[in-house]
Amino acid sequence: MDQSLLPNIYDFIAHTYPFSQLNTLEQDAVATAIKISYHSVDDELNDENLTGAGLYMIRAGIVEEINKSDNSLRARLSVGDSFGYTQIDKEGESDYKVIFVENTLLYFIPKQVLQFLLLKNQAVGNYFNSKEWVRLSSSHQYIDEQTQSTGLSSTLQNEKTVGQTCERDVTTVEDGSSIVHAAQVIDSSDTEVALVTKERDIVGIVSKSDISHAVATGISLNDPVSSIMSPEVVKIDADKTLISALELMIMHNVKCLPVLNNGILTGILTTHNLMQNTQLQSVYLLQEINITHSADKLVSLSKQHAEIFRTLVESNIQPHTIQRVMSRIADSFTTQLLRIGEDLYGKPPFPYAWIAAGSLARNELQFLSDQDNAMILQQEPNEEEALYFQKLASFVCQSLEQCGYPLCNGNYMASNERWRVSYSRWTEYFNEWTTNTDKEAILNSQVFLDIRYIFGDQKLVTRLLEHLRNTIRENKRFLASLCTASCSVLPPLGTFRQFVLTRDGKNNAFLNIKKQAINLIVELGRLYGLSAGCSSSDTYQRLEAAANTKGLLKKDEFRELAEAYTFLNGVRCNHQVTSIKEKTEMSNNIDPKKLSQFERNHLRDAFRIIARHQAGAKFRFTSGGMGLF
């Protein structure tokens, strides 16, 4: 090899995943072993050039793989793509031949060198693994590398732990101590909170605000501190990441977490610590929402949505965690608006429950997600009672729209009187949908099979979910109908590994990553979760429940769908952040030309996983799996 070409090869390796993960010794081994070849249009690689040879990487140009069995197009590959790996363990004739469509420059890694890398480097081994889900799991490491290369910090996810960040000085008081003693201890310690202990066990938390409230309400300061403490204590292990702490604080609406190391109290993590190290505004936004008693002020606070979402994505937080954070923020806006509404219109005439449906119910809210909600009333309302709930629901839905949560195009909202009915009417709905499985019934059920309690009387939601599970458990024909509807949309991967594109009103070709990919896994998760009797609406938890149920999903199948779902949501999050930064209209429509070669390759993996599992679901739940009926 001409030694003057080595700098170009090193540069290519350093910027091409997974070879960018090689250490210095491995880079030297690859760079010096790479062979360079130039090919003209209509040149051909066949048989011994492919079988048992090694890996070809396209440095410039375009090639086509042609199946030798029927001379059909197998794939069209361009810069950054590779070929030859599937033939590396074959002898004699190859399964396909390669035709050069343009003048092309190839880098070739011999079989022996590639096998050395597969054994020695995990990133390379995962990238070329025969299992798609393993290849998709390697995308996390690639995204880490991309984040670091752009100067964005990934410390939050991968390095900083709770134990490294928490305060070591923990203020404690015994549960039998008086309120006044607790106040003195907190004041002398210059802290906001103290942990309440009983024989070294943490039994509660008391804050300055708890003591101030006690004073304001006339509670005797000689009463035990246990009478005013918060008994629900959310704890965290020292080895957890800061984003885990953030999620716990958001989920439980707490300002501090006792930190344990092997079960022993070693520190306390506060929102102040979290803000110093992550610069995320999520926790403080929630605190502001929860003390705001003005709808206009809530609208003003909602302007922080975009910045929080962008910071989470650019900090390389896992997509599902981002969705959970955004869902918890939406929960807080909804809850506070309901409180404001009750102050505005008076106390409700009887108990009710406000429920989330759709993506918010699954804790999978995206930046573009619209409203899906409903109300469960304890009983049938009279005319005056119905008017009260109509005013309350309309106020909340309209205010949520002003806070950045669009109205549902399908009108699946509590402001629609059809979705603001009594518990008994809801049970009739579900009975009807699972019996008369026409198109409208399936559509309605797909929305309200995902519901989650937000506010009000939680027992109404618990009872309805139990009724739903029992109804579906006894109606496998409904699962078959749901499967048929769920699998009616196929992932956008056509023959020859090419994407099947949709065109918008301006004739621009795009992939709708939500409708053509993400929703397909959501629907598979719903189908399997209901079959497994899972009480959660969370897609991951539904799939995991199915993996733990004999005859539904195998462990590897669960990993396939989970990794595909994570990757697809990551692509969507990055696409939306790009729209925020470029100030362009945000959508779920993605131009494949704007995706990296890495993303295109892994989208193909994800689409193949979806297609395979749709076929499997059809066999299990429809006429192919007659054993179910």
Reported as a single tens digit per residue, the pLDDT across 115-168 is: 999 988 888 888 887 777 777 776 655 444 444 443 334 433 445 788 888 888
Q: How, if at all, do strands 373-377 and 420-422 pair?
A: parallel
The region of weakest confidence among 352-366, 434-448, 456-470, 509-523 is: 434-448
Percent above pLDDT 70 for the chain: 91
pLDDT of residue 497: 54
Residue 123 amino acid letter: A
C-alpha distances out from residue 214 to 102, 219, 255, 288, 598, Å:
79, 5, 19, 22, 59
CA distance 566 to 563: 5
Cβ-based burial of 516 (10 A; exposed 0-12, middle 13-18, buried ≥19): buried
Given its phi and psi angles, is residue 2 left (phi above 0), alpha (psi -120 to 50 degrees) or beta?
A: beta
Please give the mean pLDDT across all residues of the chain: 86
439's tokens:
């198109």
Percent above pLDDT 90 for the chain: 47
Beta bridge partners of 509: 503
Give the pLDDT mean for 517-542. Answer: 93
Label residue 436 by pLDDT band (50, 70, 90). confident
Which residues lie closer than 8 Å to 164 by C-beta, 6 or more apart?
Answer: none
Angle between helices 458-473 and 423-435 (to 10 degrees): 20
For residue range 272-288, list pLDDT tens digits in order.
Answer: 776 655 445 677 788 78
Cβ-based burial of 169 (10 A; exposed 0-12, middle 13-18, buried ≥19): exposed
pLDDT of residue 406: 94
Q: Could you tell me which of 561, 578, 478, 499 has the C-alpha nearest to residue 525?
A: 561
Cite the DSSP H helix spans in 415-518: 423-435, 439-448, 458-473, 476-486
Give the pLDDT mean for 466-488. Answer: 87
pLDDT of residue 127: 83
Look at residue 460 and tell me whether its pLDDT is greater than 80.
Answer: yes
562 neighbors 540 (Cβ within 8 angstroms): yes
Look at residue 454 and tell me whether its pLDDT is greater than 90.
Answer: yes
518 neighbors 562 (Cβ within 8 angstroms): no
Q: Could you tell me which of 293, 287, 290, 239 has the C-alpha nearest to residue 266?
A: 239
pLDDT of residue 254: 81
Look at residue 371 and tell me whether its pLDDT is greater than 90.
Answer: yes
Give the pLDDT mean for 292-317. Answer: 86
219's tokens:
């509670």
Look at residue 212 and tell me whether its pLDDT is greater than 70.
Answer: yes
The region of weakest confidence among 239-253, 274-288, 327-341 is: 274-288
pLDDT of residue 495: 47
Label residue 303 by pLDDT band (50, 70, 90). confident
H/E stretch holding 570 reads helix 555-582
Look at residue 328 and tell me whether its pLDDT is greater than 80.
Answer: yes
Give the single-character DSSP code of 422: E
Label residue 14 by pLDDT band (50, 70, 90). confident
Look at residue 39 and tell me whether its pLDDT is greater than 90.
Answer: yes
pLDDT of residue 148: 44
Give the pLDDT mean for 227-252. Answer: 85
pLDDT of residue 279: 46
The region of weakest confidence among 76-85, 154-163, 366-375, 379-388 is: 154-163
